[in-house]
Amino acid sequence: MLLLRHHPASLRCHVRLDSAIHRLAMSTAASASAPPASSAASDYHCRTKHSLTAGYARGPGRLDWANQPNPFLRFSPPSQIPLPNPPPVIAGIPYPSLFHSPPPPPSPQPLSVNSLSALLFHSLALSAWKSAGVSTWSLRVNPSSGNLHPTEAHLLFEHPRDPGRLVVSHYAPRDHLLEVRSAAPLADFPALLPPLATAVLALSSIFWRESWKYGERALRYCNHDVGHALAAVAVAAAALGWDVRLLDGLSDEDLGYLVGVEKGAPPPPDGLPDKMVRGKAPWVERQHPDCAVLLFPAGSEPKVDYGAMSAALRGLDRLEWVGKANALSKDHVVWDVIYHTAEAVKKHGPAPGESFSVNPWRRNTVLSDGLYKELTAQEVVRRRRSAVDMDGVHVMGRDTFYQIMLHCLPSGDVSPEELQGPPSALPFRVLPWDAEVHAALFVHRVSELPKGLYFLVRNEEHFDMLRRAMRQDFEWERPEGCPDGLPLYRLMKGDCQQIAMQISCFQDIASHGCFSLGMISRFELVLHEKGEWMYPRLFWETGVLGQVLYLEAHAVGISATGIGCYFDDAVHEVLGLKDLEFQSLYHFTVGAPVLDKRIMTVAAPFPWPDPAGGDMAGSRC
């Protein structure tokens, strides 16, 4: 047991939760890290858990700096569409106003090189360069585990300066330009841009960039990053008066044609290996197609025919594609379980009855715009950073905490008769499924709110099953001053700083902020009822929620960071969760950052000279 320094009233939570960790540590490694698994997704998930008893998921053990992957994929010789960097100034939107309904500006911006530049500049572009000693590295608007950035973006649109010409392009964030991979008359592919649609943006992952550092657990982190990118795009689009919705009826094969999977790195020559392999394996630099979203004017609802769109995407394969992908590393490590799992969780087309639809836009509840700093939405997204340490001192106001929680709700401001769950508020409306992810909160430093363990129910249809699944002695009390419509519950009072630190791989940052949290998702039933293709999507949802926490923290003048390293089953033991009914998929902490004055920061787009063409310190966030 830890030596505890707190008053007797807080002893109850700390002793009980710490004893939960102790019991877990005394149990066998098998029971803690390998619950019954029934699918490739759950097998992978259990295999890649960090455990207090069995140790960490398999990883490289050390960092092979000579083979750190280049974070910038380029195609040469490219046909380029330069984008204004920075884009021409569009009227700044006060950050809180972005979540009103409908979103400003009142008139959607037309598609142009300038509006495409603004979309990407405020979602996926470089945001700063950092330097310490001889190391130089870049940061981006969208966060990434370890700043490794496995996510690539691709745009399909009608060229604004060449009407009638359909362009398939890859976004190059280092130089803020589009590399044209292919083009064709739009009349030959009308299903790809249905009436009212502005553009299609696709995301893909290069698993090797993440597995270079994190080994087998990297597939989880790649999908976190997809979610962060989805939310970043949705927020940037809203500032242009556009809406964004996942084209989730497309298959992974369809998406492969859109991102040009077969037009880049070669496939594995002898199929996927059945064990870890070291050496030259250029095929691990191939892109894995993740998803695509449709961008369209807010307030409209384009009609999407998934069958016709799928057929049109296959037609892209017959076009001429230009540009050869640059090599990212000289040598590689093939973590075979990542590629076998990614293959097993592919989606092969629309689910039964699935069609494209757009939910009515719901505003988010705003307690007071005065809780936020006087920043525009564009300023907030460009200033977002991942904190590397918290000061352990800053106290957040209770109303500020409640405001942040309100912006974490998927349905926005609902009537008393309605339940939270359907994704209607920004940016959750990019996702077509009802919320599956909740938040278990460790509250450390919030004024007028007792320290303790709290729970945010983001889909109220799950309330009863959550109560049944979790510890029966939890309070489930509404905290004092909690706004109507915020399904937040106190489970237990007490100082949980040590527990938060312990379960987050003993990282102090989880206890030094104002609050930290674990994202708890319905798991086994989702995979069984919907299919294994939901596995990456659960992580996408956590990434969207994480992006909201990042932006909210910066908008109130502090910071945040995602935590991918945590002891999975220790979290479940604290909450009383058993088996795979619910699983913890991502952790987060919010508080006042400690800045390292040894590091020099220069805001992008300042072109920092870097002859190597890549980040020199990719392990920094």
Q: Please give the pLDDT value at position 16.
A: 55
The least confident of 179-188, 504-513, 606-615 is 606-615
Residue 137 has pLDDT above 90, yes or no: no
Residue 606 has pLDDT above 70, yes or no: no
The model's confidence at residue 323, banded by pLDDT at 50, 70 and 90, is very high
The model's confidence at residue 224, banded by pLDDT at 50, 70 and 90, is very high
Q: Measure the CA–CA gap between 59 and 48, rounded to whole angstroms.
A: 10
Report yes or no: 252 and 531 within 8 Å, Cβ to Cβ: no
Q: Please give the pLDDT value at position 17.
A: 55
Query: Hey, is 581 helix, strand or coil?
Result: coil
The model's confidence at residue 542, banded by pLDDT at 50, 70 and 90, is very high
Phi and psi (nearest 5°) for 18?
-65, -35
Q: Please give the pLDDT value at position 23.
A: 53
Residue 3 has pLDDT above 60, yes or no: no
Q: Measure the CA–CA gap between 380 and 302, rounded to whole angstroms.
A: 30
Q: Please give the pLDDT value at position 206.
A: 98
Q: Please give the pLDDT value at position 21.
A: 45
The model's confidence at residue 269, banded by pLDDT at 50, 70 and 90, is confident
The model's confidence at residue 15, banded by pLDDT at 50, 70 and 90, is very low
The least confident of 92-101, 136-145, 294-303 is 92-101
The CATH homologous superfamily for domain 72-127+136-345 is: NADH Oxidase (3.40.109.10)
Give the pLDDT mean for 218-238.
98
The least confident of 117-126, 265-274, 413-422 is 265-274
The least confident of 169-173, 231-235, 362-366, 445-449 is 362-366
Tens-place pLDDT, residues 552-598:
999 999 999 999 999 999 999 999 999 999 999 999 999 999 987 77
Q: Please give the pLDDT value at position 604.
A: 75
Amino acid at 317: D
Q: Please give the pLDDT value at position 134.
A: 82
Query: What would be the CATH architecture of the domain defined by 385-597?
Result: 3-Layer(aba) Sandwich (3.40)
Residue 528 has pLDDT above 60, yes or no: yes
Tens-place pLDDT, residues 481-501:
999 999 999 999 999 999 999
Tens-place pLDDT, residues 229-258:
999 999 999 999 999 999 999 999 999 999
- Helices (H) and strands (E) counted in the chain, each on its own, are 16, 20
Residue 609 has pLDDT above 50, yes or no: no
- Mean pLDDT, the chain, as a whole number? 90
Q: Please give the pLDDT value at position 105.
A: 57
pLDDT winner (highest mean) among 269-283, 353-367, 506-520: 506-520
The model's confidence at residue 106, banded by pLDDT at 50, 70 and 90, is low
The model's confidence at residue 28, banded by pLDDT at 50, 70 and 90, is very low
Of the two residues 117 and 2, the one the predictor is more confident about is 117
Q: Please give the pLDDT value at position 132.
A: 83
Paired residues of 199 in beta bridges: 295
Q: Please give the pLDDT value at position 78.
A: 72
Residue 5 has pLDDT above 70, yes or no: no
Residue 509 has pLDDT above 90, yes or no: yes
Give the pLDDT mean for 213-238.
98
Amino acid at 32: A
Residue 133 has pLDDT above 90, yes or no: no
Percentages of the chain per state (helix, strand, coil), in multiples of 5: 35, 20, 45
Report yes or no: 421 and 410 within 8 Å, Cβ to Cβ: yes
Cα 598 vs. chain centroid, distance in angstroms? 29
Q: Measure the CA–CA gap between 82 and 169, rounded to whole angstroms.
A: 12
Amino acid at 311: A
Query: Hey, is 257 helix, strand or coil?
Result: helix
Q: Please give the pLDDT value at position 620.
A: 34
Q: Please give the pLDDT value at position 99.
A: 85
Helical (H) or strand (E) element with 590: strand 582-591
The least confident of 25-34, 176-185, 413-422 is 25-34
Q: Measure the CA–CA gap between 34 and 266, rounded to whole angstroms.
A: 35
pLDDT winner (highest mean) among 55-64, 271-280, 461-470: 461-470
Return the DSSP state at 600. Answer: E
Q: Please give the pLDDT value at position 90.
A: 74
Report yes or no: 549 and 488 within 8 Å, Cβ to Cβ: no
Write down the domain spans for the chain: 72-127+136-345, 385-597
Residue 610 has pLDDT above 50, yes or no: no
The model's confidence at residue 18, banded by pLDDT at 50, 70 and 90, is low
Q: Please give the pLDDT value at position 25.
A: 42
Number of residues assigned to the chain: 621
Q: Which two tokens stand for residue 29?
A: 């490694």
Residue 302 has pLDDT above 90, yes or no: yes
Q: Please give the pLDDT value at position 480.
A: 96
Contacts of 26 (CB under 8 A, 6+ apart): none
Domains 72-127+136-345 and 385-597 agree in fold: yes
